[in-house]
Structure 1
Amino acid sequence: MRLKKRFRSDRTARPGRGRTLRFHRRRPARAALAGVLAGVLALSGCSLLGDDSGDSPASGGTAAPHATAGAGQDVPYDVTPLLKPAKKYFGASVPGAPTSMKNVDAYTRMTGKQPNLVEYYAGWGDGFDATGVRNAWAEGALTLMSWEPFDTPLADIAAGESDAYLKKYATAVRELNLPVVIDFADEFNGHWEKWGTKDVTPAQYVAAWRHIHQTFVDAGATNVIWAWSPNIVNPVPDVKLKPYYPGDAYVDWVGLIGYFTAGEDNSFDSVFGTTRDRVRTFTKKPILLLETGAVPGERRRADIRNLFAGVAADDDMLGFIWFNHKKRADWRLEASPLALKEFKRLAADDRFGFDVRKPS
């Protein structure tokens, strides 16, 4: 069973997602879309879904650049510099963020470094959190949304039954026009998810992913970075990943989800190596540790050292997001003062963290 819970964008906890008892683009060229974007409305800075104040898109921070390609036309934010930056992403998932950045600021004080990638969880049907994206951007951080279709079959999404919702969502993302990372239906290779191996075929998963991606492209929302995110294969070694891969035209990042756990070999390669090697047989897209942590205990300091060293040593590793929640296990850094001290020491490395508004 899974050792943490998921969250909807209204911040209520979801039921625990199952995990084994381990604590465990050739994207269509954006320039090519310029012709289709003639006549697109000027940047509104407000969400079409959910509550949003409609204030400026980066109030308190640097606004997204808008190169003018023609009268009445604004150009989607070019995320290219963010796809594989020179430095590593230093990410965090903390309660309430990015709608409120209070806990991100506390995490910054605790670790001595500002996270530049903030992850949150949203259910299919939830509105786009434009306010949260702006809040994070104002502090130099990119937002990553883990989009979870708990109550909607993937076959229905692929068939277009959610298109009214999906088109409004894509339009809201396009109109905000700040970069956003979307991770849809993660851990699909596990049996513990409603969109996992017990209920969804690889073909259904790929069809849903491609349909969502194409809807965003049709809306001109190329300001999205798409992260395809399997769970590490250790607990499900017989599930092949390649059949679930939507293809390089639909994916920007591979986002691995895996934890350093108790009672196992916790070298970086032991935790992530097998999955990384399997992924490398069918794509060369850069890899982000999209969700990770280490179980509290005497090994946590060593696990943290392994995490930083493993990410730093691999040029194709973009960085990591630490899951700083107490959910079934206490993944919070503050739960282990000595390990926190080690984390803070390693986080000071200049290779980790940068202002995403100035990626180069």
Structure 2
Amino acid sequence: MSFSVRRVRASRPVRALAATLIAGALLAGCSTFSEEGRDQYERGQGEKPGAEGTGEASESAKPEPPYDVRPLLDPRKKYLGVAADGAPAKMKAVEDFAKRAGKKPNLIEFYSAWGDQYEQELVKNSWDYGSVAFIAWEPFETSMKDIASGKEDAYIREYAKSVKELNLPVAISFAHEMNGFWYPWGTKKTSAADFTAAYKHIHDLFDDEGATQVIWVWSPNVTHPMPKVKLKPYWPGDDYVDWVGVIGYYAATGPNTYQTLYGPTMTQIRGFTKKPFIIAETAAQAGERKPADIKSLFQGTAERDDVIGFVWFNFDKETDWRINSGPLSEKTFKQQAANSSFGFDVTKP
């Protein structure tokens, strides 16, 4: 997104928004569990770590196994996601989006501030609707240095225990758009080294608590507003990330094709990881070009096997990003969403 639009969007009231995988076996290496985390998973299934069907634990003592997110990491079809006003606390806006799109979303994003408890009810609401919850976790009230040094460990462990207790899959994107300059965890106040140290520390604490239900998302902004900021220094490593959540909007000015908007960023990222992409936040600004932008988003995503879907920011804030900002935009979105590649049952990916 161009700087001018990004500045406006970055100032949106985040707290108002906050209110708002089991198919065939996959390769073990495709999740970010460490060996210790995998041992925790096997213990949860009543097995000794590394044991293969020994049956040593009695059925009566066998606890509920942790939800295995691995089939959700790289599904056969693509996610059709949405962030919508009041959701998933209330689902009216999601239901309206689904009616207009002609298809239910299967990924629902919402925003949560650092210090908030893990909102189990919102995650459950999403799951009951047929969607995976996707939390953008925004550390406004702390620093990356404090997180990395352990000052926030009690809060992080409490959050992780709550994730484990609920035992439903959840995607978490920590400190998104870290390569931009508009957030306190961005380039003006936080170094790449401090960001990666904080990200890895949070992941390690979740792993230590056995909260393996998380799909870890690393979400840089598209690079064109700050082309000199390289992404590799911000990369925590393949052991710490499941999805690369690229964020980029079709704005009235700036890149206006899939390749020009996302291509340079994805090419740079492919220089250091092969993790699947998901467009973690996107929409098209209202105007004559919006139907073409919607078509570009769907067709570009459909054509790339390494892009597993997108999340549409369906808000009328500062500009009307909603799919129904105009009748032709709504019609185009519904036509494109009819593509069978988009949408699937998250319980049977």
Instruction: Give 1:126's aligned residue.
Output: 116
Name the amino acid aligned to 1:101.
M
Instruction: Give 1:194's aligned residue.
Output: 184
- Whole-Å separation in 2 of the counterparts to 1:331 and 1:184: 23
- Whole-Å separation in 1 of the counterparts to 2:347 and 2:56: 19
Whether 1:150 and 2:140 are equivalent positions in the alignment is yes
Name the amino acid aligned to 1:33.
Q
Instruction: Tell me: CA distance 1:123–1:27, structure 2 relative to 1, closer, same or farther (3 Å).
Output: same
Whether 1:88 and 2:78 are equivalent positions in the alignment is yes
- Whole-Å separation in 2 of the counterparts to 1:69 and 1:306: 53
Instruction: Tell me: CA distance 1:314–1:244, structure 2 relative to 1, closer, same or farther (3 Å).
Output: same
- Whole-Å separation in 2 of the counterparts to 1:270 and 1:105: 32
Match among 70, 86, 89 for residue 99 of structure 1: 89
Question: How far 1:308 moved relative to its partner?
Answer: 0.5
Does the 8 Å contact 2:19/2:89 carry over to 1? no
In the TM superposition, what are the counterparts of 1:251-262 in structure 2 within 5 Å? 251-262=241-252
Instruction: Tell me: CA distance 1:69–1:222, structure 2 relative to 1, closer, same or farther (3 Å).
Output: farther
Instruction: Tell me: CA distance 1:11–1:294, structure 2 relative to 1, closer, same or farther (3 Å).
Output: same
Instruction: Give 2:63's aligned residue.
Output: 73
Name the amino acid aligned to 1:228.
W
- Whole-Å separation in 2 of the counterparts to 1:214 and 1:231: 24
- Whole-Å separation in 1 of the counterparts to 2:286 and 2:57: 53
Structure 2 gaps, min length 5: 1-5, 21-30, 47-54
Question: How far 1:35 moved relative to its partner?
Answer: 5.6
Name the amino acid aligned to 2:108.
V
- Whole-Å separation in 1 of the counterparts to 2:224 and 2:41: 43
Whether 1:33 and 2:40 are equivalent positions in the alignment is yes
Question: How far 1:243 moved relative to its partner?
Answer: 0.4
Q: Secondary structure at the residue paired with 1:235?
A: coil
Instruction: Give 2:153's aligned residue.
Output: 163
Q: Secondary structure at the residue paired with 2:7?
A: coil
Does the 8 Å contact 1:77/1:223 carry over to 2? yes
Q: Secondary structure at the residue paired with 2:265?
A: helix
Question: How far 1:99 moved relative to its partner?
Answer: 1.4
Match among 169, 174, 188 for residue 164 of structure 2: 174
Identity %: 48
Q: Secondary structure at the residue paired with 2:109?
A: strand
- Whole-Å separation in 2 of the counterparts to 1:12 and 1:143: 14
Write the deviation string for residues 96-155 of structure 1: whole angstroms up to 9, x where unpaired.
111111211111111111000000000000111111111111121000000000111111
Cα RMSD, aligned residues only: 2.0
Question: How far 1:286 moved relative to its partner?
Answer: 0.1
Question: How far 1:253 moved relative to its partner?
Answer: 0.4
Whether 1:139 and 2:144 are equivalent positions in the alignment is no
Q: TM-score, normalised by structure 2?
A: 0.88
Does the 8 Å contact 1:137/1:357 carry over to 2? no
Question: How far 1:38 moved relative to its partner?
Answer: 8.4
In the TM superposition, what are the counterparts of 1:188-227 in structure 2 within 5 Å? 188-227=178-217
- Whole-Å separation in 1 of the counterparts to 2:108 and 2:220: 19
Whether 1:229 and 2:219 are equivalent positions in the alignment is yes
Structure 1 gaps, min length 5: 14-24, 40-66
Instruction: Tell me: CA distance 1:185–1:68, structure 2 relative to 1, closer, same or farther (3 Å).
Output: farther
- Whole-Å separation in 1 of the counterparts to 2:44 and 2:194: 30
Instruction: Tell me: CA distance 1:196–1:265, structure 2 relative to 1, closer, same or farther (3 Å).
Output: closer
- Whole-Å separation in 2 of the counterparts to 1:307 and 1:189: 23
Name the amino acid aligned to 1:28.
S
In the TM superposition, what are the counterparts of 1:306-321 in structure 2 within 5 Å? 306-321=296-311
In the TM superposition, what are the counterparts of 1:312-351 in structure 2 within 5 Å? 312-351=302-341
The runs of at least 4 consecutive aligned structure 1 residues that moved more than 6 Å come to none
Q: Secondary structure at the residue paired with 1:322?
A: strand
Whether 1:113 and 2:118 are equivalent positions in the alignment is no
- Whole-Å separation in 2 of the counterparts to 1:117 and 1:69: 36
Name the amino acid aligned to 2:346.
V
Q: TM-score, normalised by structure 1?
A: 0.85
Does the 8 Å contact 1:253/1:288 carry over to 2? yes
- Whole-Å separation in 1 of the counterparts to 2:79 and 2:56: 30
Does the 8 Å contact 1:183/1:229 carry over to 2? yes
1 or 2, which has the higher helix percentage? Answer: 2
Instruction: Tell me: CA distance 1:219–1:263, structure 2 relative to 1, closer, same or farther (3 Å).
Output: same
Instruction: Tell me: CA distance 1:34–1:263, structure 2 relative to 1, closer, same or farther (3 Å).
Output: closer
Does the 8 Å contact 1:3/1:329 carry over to 2? no
